[in-house]
Amino acid sequence: MATETPGQETQETLSNLLSETRRFEPPADLASAANVTADAYEEAAQDRLAFWERAAERLTWAERWNTTLEWKPPFSKWFVDGKLNVAYNCVDRHVEAGRGDKVAYHWEGEPEGDTRTITYADLQKEVAKAANALEELGVRKGDRVAVYMPMIPELPIALLACARIGAIHSVVFGGFSASALKSRIDDADAKIVITADGGYRRGAPSALKPTVDEAVADCPGVEHVLVVRRTGQDVPVNERDVWWHDLVERQPSEHEPVPHDAEDPLYILYTSGTTGKPKGILHTTGGYLTQVAWTHHAVFDLKPETDIYWCTADIGWVTGHSYIVYGPLANGATSVIYEGTPDTPHRGRFWEIVQKYQVTILYTAPTAIRTFMKWGDDIPAKYDMSSLRVLGSVGEPINPEAYVWYREHIGANRCPVVDTWWQTETGGIMISPLPGVTAAKPGAAMRPLPGVVADVVDDQGESVPNGGGGFLVVREPWPAMLRTIWGDDQRYIDTYWSRFEGMYFPGDGAKRDEDGDLWLLGRVDDVMLVSGHNISTTEVESALVSHPKVAEAAVVGATDPVTGQAIVSFVILRGGAEESEDIASELRAHVAKTLGPIAKPRQILVVPELPKTRSGKIMRRLLRDVAENRSLGDVTTLTDSSVMNLIAEKLPSAKSDD
Ligand code: 6R9
C-alpha cells in the first residue's frame, strides 16, 4: 500500500493495483493421491531442518552427514560430512533397483523422425564411458569443464560424467557468442570444452564449433575440445580437438562412482543480470540434489512409474540443469527432451510432441505461452492432449490472462497450473503452489514451499502487511542456495546480502495480497515511479494482456516532465486481432479501468516483436532507451537485434493523448 510522504517519493513501497478473484481448486483425484499434502507445511514449520533431512533421505548417501546445516551468514554448508555421488543417484541406483529398462529420455531432434530412446541402463553405460573419456583427457576432480552444446543426449551425459568424477561443469548456452563463451571459459579457468559440430535450429544445421574455435583461440588453459558429431557439417579440426565418437565410444562401459563431499562443487552457471560481468553462480552437491529432487517430486506431483514429464527449457539455463537433468533423474522419471524451436517445421510442434509421447506434465515459460496465444487457439485444438495432468510455468511473472489461456487451451481446464518462482541463484523452486493442495490464483506463485522462509519487506526490511507490496527476501538458508560467486565472495555478499541485514535479496519486487498469497512483480530495477507511486511493470503488462486483442505486452517508465516517469507500453496483438486506428485509446481506457487512472500508459505502440534475452525474458532496459530516444545500450544478450529496428520505426506514430 502506498505510504506517500511529500518530498520522499521513493519511500513508497510497491503499489498493489491488480485484483484477481478467480480461484482454481486442485482436481479431487490429484489431491487424493498427491505426493505431498498440506501436512508438509506444518511439518516444515515445526522443524525446518528435520524437514530437509527427510528430503535428503530420499537420496542414496555413501556416508550420512553429521550436521544438517552450518550457517555462518551468508555462507552455508548443508549435510556436513555427508558423501554421495550425484551420477550414482541419478542413474546407477535406478538400474540397481531393477529399473534399467525404464526410459530416462525420449529425445526428439528437430528434424522430424530424428529420435532416440535412452533407458536408465543405456544412460549408465554412456555416462560411464564419458567419465572414462574425461579421465583419459586428464580431467580430475575439481577441474572445470566448459560445455557448449545443442540439446542432444550427449549434453546431459556430459554433465553426469562430470558429476561422476567430481569435475565442475560450466554450461554456456549454445546461442551465446564467442566472446561471451571466452569470458566464461576464462573466468572459470576451464581445462576442456565439450561441444558439437552444430545443432538443428529452425530447420537448418547451425554450427557451434567455429564459435568455440574463435573463443579458445586465445585460451591457453584449454587443453582439449571434445566434439560430438551431430549435424555432420564440415568443421575445422585442430590439434587439441578430439571427436567424441573416437574417444568415448572405445571406453569401457563401467566406471566406479566415487562418493564426493556434500559440499564439493557440482557446477558453475553464469547469470548475466542487468549490468556488469556475468556472475559465476556456484552450486554444490548434497543440498542442491536434495532440493531439486524434492521440489520436482512435490511441485509436479511426479509419479515416476506412470508420468511422462517434459520441461521445454534449454539445458543451458538453470531450469534445464535442475528440472531436465538433476531433479527428474534423481527421481527416476521418464522425460522428453526436444532439440528445436516450437515453430519448426510448424506451429503445432509442441502439441504434436505432447500427443506423440502422451506427456502428462508440461513445464514451460510465459514467453512461450504468450507466443502460443498470439499464434491462435486453433493450433493446440488440433491435437489430443488428454494425457496432460499438471502444467508448470517459470522464468517471468505469468500474466493472469496467459495463465488462464494455458489452463484452458492446453490443460482443457482439467490441469492445475503451478507458477514456480526461483532463480539460477536459488538452484531450485522456492515459491509455488502444490498441485494437490493449493487453490491457485492465476498469476500468483502463492506460498513459499515447505522448508523455504520467504517474505515481502519494505525499504527498512520490515514485513509488509497483507495487501502490501515491496521487496521479496528469503529469511533462512535453503539447501540448494548458491554458495558464492565463483572466485568472488565479496561480490556474493554485496549483490545478495547487503540490501537487507541478514536476508537474501533476489532483486525482485513482490506483493502479499489480502489472503497472504505472494505475487511476483518483476525486477525492482524495472519498477516505474509515476507521480510518486511505485508501479510494477508486471501489473500494467497483465492489465494489457487481459484485453482480448493483446497477446503480449512490455511496459517501461520513461522520463516525463510532469509525472517524473510516464508509462510507455509496447504490445503485440493476438492472432486475428486487427490493428485499428483507435487501439491505443481503447487499451489505455482498459488499463485505467482495470488498475486505476494512475497506471494509464502515456503511449501505446503496437509492435511485431519484443526484445528478449536468449532465455526469453523481456529486456525492458532496451525499450527504455527507445522510449527516451536514447541510442541503444548493450544489445549483445538480445536474441534478435533486428527487433529493435522494427520497434524504433514505430515510435513517431505513437499516440500520446486521449
Ligand atoms: C528459473 C529462472 C530468475 C528471475 C527471477 C525473476 C524471474 C523466474 C518467475 C519469475 C515471476 C516466476 N522469474 N520465475 N518471476 N514469476 N514464476 O528463471 O532463473 O534465469 O536466473 O531468472 O526470473 O525475476 O529473479 P533465472
Q: Which residues are CB-contacts of 141 (< 8 A; sequence separation ≥ 6)? A: 165, 166, 167, 260, 264
pLDDT at 588 over 60: yes
- Kindly report the average pLDDT of the chain as a whole number: 94
17-36 mean pLDDT: 95
Q: What is the pLDDT of residue 655?
A: 37
- Is 545 known as a binding-site position? yes
Q: Which atom of ligand 1 is nearest to the CA of 419?
A: 17
**Is 177 known to sit in a ligand binding site?**
no
User: How far is it, in rounded angstroms, from Cα 649 to Cα 600?
Assistant: 23
| Residue pLDDT, tens place only, 513-535 | 999 999 999 999 999 999 999 99
Nearest-CA residue for ligand 1 atom 18 is: 395
CA triplet 344, 621, 633: central angle to 5 degrees?
A: 95
Number of Cβ within 10 Å of residue 382's Cβ equals 11
In the predicted structure, residue 649 carries a pLDDT above the cut 50: yes
CA angle 242, 244, 247 (to 5 degrees): 75
Q: How many angstroms does the Cα of residue 429 sit away from the middle of ligand 1?
A: 10
Residue 40 has pLDDT above 70, yes or no: yes
Model confidence pLDDT, tens digit, residues 217-265: 999 999 999 999 999 999 999 999 999 999 999 999 999 999 999 999 9
pLDDT digits (tens, 9 = 90+) for 316-328: 999 999 999 999 9
The CA 276 to ligand 1 mean position distance, Å, reads 19
19 known ligand binder: no
Percent of the chain having pLDDT more than 70? 96
Beta pairing partners, 484: 282
**pLDDT of res. 12:** 63
pLDDT greater than 70 at residue 200: yes
**pLDDT band at 631, cuts 50/70/90?**
confident
Residue nearest to atom 11 of ligand 1 (CA): 397
Residues having CB within 6 Å of any atom of ligand 1: 271, 317-319, 394-397, 419-424, 445, 506-508, 520, 523, 615
Query: Quick one: 294 exposed, middle or buried, by C-beta within 10 A (0-12, 13-18, 19+)?
Result: buried
Q: How many CA atoms lie within 13 A of 384 on its CB side?
A: 5
Q: Which atom of ligand 1 is nearest to the CA of 520?
A: 11
> Please, what is the end-to-end C-alpha distance for the chain in angstroms?
28
User: Which residue among 18, 267, 422 is best mutated to probe the pocket of ligand 1, counting the most ligand atoms within 8 A of its Cβ?
Assistant: 422
Topology at the third CATH level for domain 527-653: GMP Synthetase; Chain A, domain 3 (3.30.300)
Q: Is 286 annotated as a binding residue?
A: no
Q: Ligand 1 mean position to 516 CA, how many Å?
A: 21
Pocket test for ligand 1, best of 520, 526, 539 (most atoms within 8 A of CB): 520
The residue with cell 523455504 is: 452
Task: Indicate the SS3 state at residue 458.
Answer: coil
The ranges assigned to domains in the chain are: 527-653
Residues shown for the chain = 658
CA 365/CA 351 separation, integer angstroms: 15
Percent above pLDDT 90 for the chain: 88
Ligand 1 atom closest to 617 (CA) = 23
Which protein residue has the closest C-alpha to ligand 1 atom 14?
Answer: 395
63-75 b/e with 16+ CB inside 10 Å = b? eebeebbeeeebe
Q: Looking at residues 356-380, what average pLDDT do you find?
A: 96
Query: For 409-455, how does the pLDDT look when each residue is reduced to its tens digit (9 = 90+)?
Result: 999 999 999 999 999 999 999 999 999 999 999 999 999 999 999 99
Q: Does the annotation place 233 within a ligand binding site?
A: no
Per-residue model confidence as pLDDT tens digits over 81-135: 999 999 999 999 999 999 999 999 999 999 989 999 999 999 999 999 999 999 9
Nearest partner of 300 among 161, 170, 458, 415, judged by Cα: 415
588 is in an annotated binding site: no
Q: How far is the CA of 586 from the centre of ligand 1 (A)?
A: 31
Q: Which amino acid is at 1?
A: M
| pLDDT value of position 308 | 99
The rounded distance, in Å, linking the Cα atoms of 141 and 264 is 9
Atom 26 of ligand 1: nearest residue by CA position = 423
Report the pLDDT value the prediction gives residue 36, as an integer from 0 to 100. Answer: 98
Helix axes 154-165, 120-136, angle to 10 degrees: 60
Using pLDDT thresholds of 50, 70 and 90, give the confidence band for residue 590: very high
Which protein residue's CA is at the shortest distance from atom 8 of ligand 1? 395
581 labeled part of a ligand binding site? no
CB of 95 closer than 8 Å to CB of 120: yes
Please write the tens of the pLDDT for every residue from 545-565. 999 999 999 999 999 999 999
